[in-house]
Structure 1
């Protein structure tokens, strides 16, 4: 295993793949390097002396500038480097592309749910959704009634012996003694058989929107909910309305029709202000949901081509290895899917800052390149208007694990999108229309972004992480991909796929991508359950188009 890596020939920094000692001689591709201070794994050191204002290059792009003199072999930190990114211009685009070898997957299929409008899903979900936050409590009431009776309530694989703590406290145990008690008990999940075997789940969404704020937020929420109903992973929905909120039923119905005039999925609208009592209201919700489940259960998994897959590409809790293992593997899978006629989606616009030029150069049509530049500029302007900016994007965890600037984080994050041509650029809540790689405007916030990916039609989501995160989605399976094997072994109940063998040199990016695609087909067919699905990690946060990085 190499101790260091130079990501691109034009870079003037190297990545430490393991902890490096001061003054140790590092051999790499016939050259010798000597760190002048200890360098932690995942962090970077410069390979030439830099003066104040000199550019930091990584992944072949500008990722920062020196704020003080940095000596050859010295680590770059937030103390000696600041964020910097290159300007972007729409110019002649070069969309020639060498496709990866996908011969092993040609003709392969998965078992999906075929909708009447031609879309094909990987799940068959029913939704119970409030149009306004006032109805969250009633959504939870319906959940309590329906989940266990219909066999969708999953137990934990552990219990906490609270009785033991109570007994100890009654015997006079101190606070410290109580905190030191071991009350974790592993249990087996007693699964109840589902009443509707072809319905993979009932998902009860909660949110804090639909009224108050500005009207545009409510309109956007209705577009997002229409997108969730339109997602081929969804069989139908029960919508709860109070009656007086901004997000009116008619606005949602129009959004659904405008999005997909051919929509024929069962959907029900229940309004509390027209109900005789809370009990009658909940009764109405339950009866209509049951009627919908009867129809949803008629849909069975059938063979479907790989070209029907829509893969969201996400990252969160990133580390210094994310951009050289997990993200490139996901990018190679993205390229494989494009070669097979499928549709990957690259989101998180704040994490594309600094690599805009390479992305605009990959747009098939000039109008899409121009739209991407305009959306990025508008997002950046709004952030700066409230005293922030893309440079504030790296989190404390990102920085601690080697991602010093937003441009550095972006250059690694963009690797999720592979190298294929970009066929479309979508704004938030817009639906997928073209097969091939799409760009989707979302925040970098993990849950807001995964919520958006599912809302625009993603039927699977791969999610790279170097630090670990439990994020999931109610309707779209989220596959957690670790950038390093230490994380994969420590958080086995969170991570689904380990890309750390790319760092150790055991696997190439291409071989690991082939393994990942096999796993994605198993998840798409219902043969494998992701950890986020098992844990019921049904995260759902609509973006209010305010400043969220």
Structure 2
């Protein structure tokens, strides 16, 4: 990446030598002189930080190049120094094919400083290691959400896992103010206190990190493929290294049958031995009978699971999900490439990483296909991308519609621009396997997992595939978490970290202003991962009780 000069260094950036646009690192005024190598010209418009402007004149139909790839087409004449917007460029990406030579060779990073390092984890019978120890309660169908919620109310408070009601005292105060005759202005101007009680109480079972309740809106009424996918995802959570055991509530008549769930569990772990409690309401009879059995059997299982303890594990047991949400124009030059370096480190150590969100890989298909270790993986990736986009188009949309209003406002004005930056999360290691939701990671190395770009659906799927830690970059701020895997939130810019410190774990804006290099941030992230994986640090999403879980209903989300 090349920085330019505008009175001082660090005001704009050329990401790749092939690019014909520059990225503003700060707000640049209309008329400001740009000096970059042999180029010297005044800006023709205001260019806000994170946005792009032309390095040369562009005619209608000319290709816009960023990150060294095609990311759009000019729709009008664009004079150099003019900000690129949705009014003067449109989404476009390069065609790709499988006829290219494989490019799966790579120069692995020096990981000598990490060799021999360990984290304190929970060792499972299948050889995986958890970064946490959770019990999950799962309904097979939305009809059982009510009973699942009753179990949640019954267990969390009594066992010491209930999150504090931080705003309950505030509502109580407003209620008293209203009863005393307070006006609307009195209510709006009241100082609402927060309950600052501890996030965790004295737990009855200290070796169990939590009991999680994975309610959802699926299980019946959809297609058979919906039921199959749901059972596969739920099996991924039950067999997850961070999960010690599960209570499953079934109604009985739904499409997502318990037999299907057990078959999916066997696919992922043929010698599955975790405690699994399965109760069917239509067989048990009354709600009281069902709930009493669920409570007693779950409590007895928790007594046994509590005997498990953390023990040292090599970093090769890490499975890292690579995720982004609320992305901005800095994502592809700060947080995303930083965790791309982390991905390379983990892979070089013998661990696994997962890159998902296929709508946000539009335009970089050729690079990723060429990095696949064999033709089978490359073809599967190509087929999944084509099929997904075709289904989206049949629904009246397409990958081009992926950028959200927030993305566009902060510089990601085409899907290809967003995708080229999003792909930086994958680093440079070979792609060892391409997975389709809800398949599970079975080997070390970088994996591509077909999911939507929707934050929670994609994160839910990555964890279902086995991620025991998720690295989640954000430029605009999103609170996404997960019930059983820690989601580490990394800001692409320092202003976000300062504005929303309650959701951001690591600031990567230090890369933008030159305080740190990409490698220095990657090393800092590695240290943080080890601390989180060892149970020493609780990520912000877990502190907030952000247990987001949404199964992907295929073909609906971008």
* TM-score in same-fold range (> 0.5): yes
Q: Specify the alignment match of 2:54 in structure 1.
A: 46
The aligned residue for residue 282 of structure 2 is 273
Give the Å deviation of 1:29: 5.4
Q: Secondary structure at the match of 1:195?
A: coil
Query: Matches of 1:527 and 1:379 in 2, distance apart?
Result: 40
Q: Does 1:477 find its partner at 2:486?
A: yes
Residue of structure 1 equivalent to 2:400: 391
Superposition deviation, residue 431 in structure 1: 1.1
Contact 2:384 2:450 in 1 (8 A): yes
* Partner in structure 2 of residue 70 of structure 1: 78
- Residue in 1 that maps onto 2:525: 516
**Which residue is 2:6 aligned to?**
none
Q: 1:60 — aligned with what?
A: 68
Alpha-carbon distance in 2 for matches of 1:189, 1:156? 11
**Could you say what secondary structure the match of 1:503 adopts?**
coil
- Show the 5 A alignment for 1:126-525: 126-156=135-165, 159-185=168-194, 187-189=196-198, 191-525=200-534
Once the two structures are TM-superposed, the CA of residue 158 in structure 1 deviates from its matched residue by 5.4
Q: Is the 8 A contact 1:111 1:526 kept in 2?
A: yes
Of the three residues 27, 37, 48, the one matched with 2:45 is 37
CA distance in 1, matches of 2:383, 2:94: 16
Query: In 1, distance between residues paired with 2:390 and 2:543?
Result: 40
Evaluate the alpha carbon distance shift between residue 160 and residue 50 of structure 1 in structure 2; reply closer, same or farther with a 3 A threshold. farther
Alpha-carbon distance change, 190 to 506 in structure 1, aligned in 2, over 3 angstroms: closer
Structure 1 runs not aligned, ≥5 long = none
Look up the SS of the partner of 2:408 in the other structure: helix
Instruction: Note if contact 1:3-1:26 (Cα within 8 Å) is conserved in structure 2.
Output: no
SS of residue paired to 2:299: helix
Question: Is the 8 Å Cα contact of residues 158 and 187 (structure 1) preserved in structure 2?
Answer: no
453-462 vs 266-275, which deviates more? 266-275
Secondary structure in 2 matching 1:220 = helix
In 2, the alpha carbon distance for the partners of 1:166 and 1:294 equals 42
Match of 2:17 among 9, 20, 27: 9
> Over residues 272-321 of structure 1, what are the superposed CA-to-partner deviations in whole Å (9 max), with x where a residue is unaligned?
11224222211111111112212211221110000110000000000110
Q: Tell me, yes or no, if structure 1 residue 84 matches structure 2 residue 84.
A: no
Note if contact 1:21-1:35 (Cα within 8 Å) is conserved in structure 2: yes
Distance 1:139 1:470 in 2: 24
Contact map agreement 2:199 2:543 (CA 8 A) in 1? no
Shift of 1:27: 3.7
Structure-1 separation of matches of 2:179 and 2:147: 38
Q: TM-score, normalised by structure 1?
A: 0.98
Deviations 1:492-545 (A, max 9, x none): 110001100000001100111000000001000001000111111110000111
Q: Is the 8 A contact 1:12 1:56 kept in 2?
A: yes
Counterpart Cα distance in 2 of 1:33 and 1:154: 57
Q: Provide the TM-score with structure 2 as the length reference.
A: 0.96
- 1:47-104: per-residue Cα shift (whole Å, max 9, x none)? 1111110000000000000111111000000011110000011121112211222221
| Partner Cα distance (1:261, 1:215) in 2 | 24
Q: Distance in 2 between matches of 1:38 and 1:394?
A: 22
Equivalent-residue separation in structure 1 for 2:528 and 2:521 (angstroms): 11
Structure 1 residue 181: Cα displacement:
2.3
Q: Deviations over 1:232-251 (max 9, x none)?
A: 11111000011111111111
CA distance in 2, matches of 1:428, 1:163: 45
Could you tell me whether the CA contact under 8 Å between 1:133 and 1:208 is conserved in 2?
Answer: yes
1:464-517: per-residue Cα shift (whole Å, max 9, x none)? 000000100001110000000010111111000110000000110011100000
* CA distance in 1: counterparts of 2:166 and 2:114, whole angstroms: 36
Residue 260 of structure 1 deviates from its aligned partner by 1.4
**Cα distance in structure 2, aligned partners of 1:448 and 1:62:** 28
Answer whether contact 1:157 1:189 (CA < 8 A) is retained: no
Q: Residue 538 of structure 2 is aligned with which of 494, 508, 529?
A: 529
Is there any run of 5+ residues in structure 2 with no aligned partner, and where? 1-8
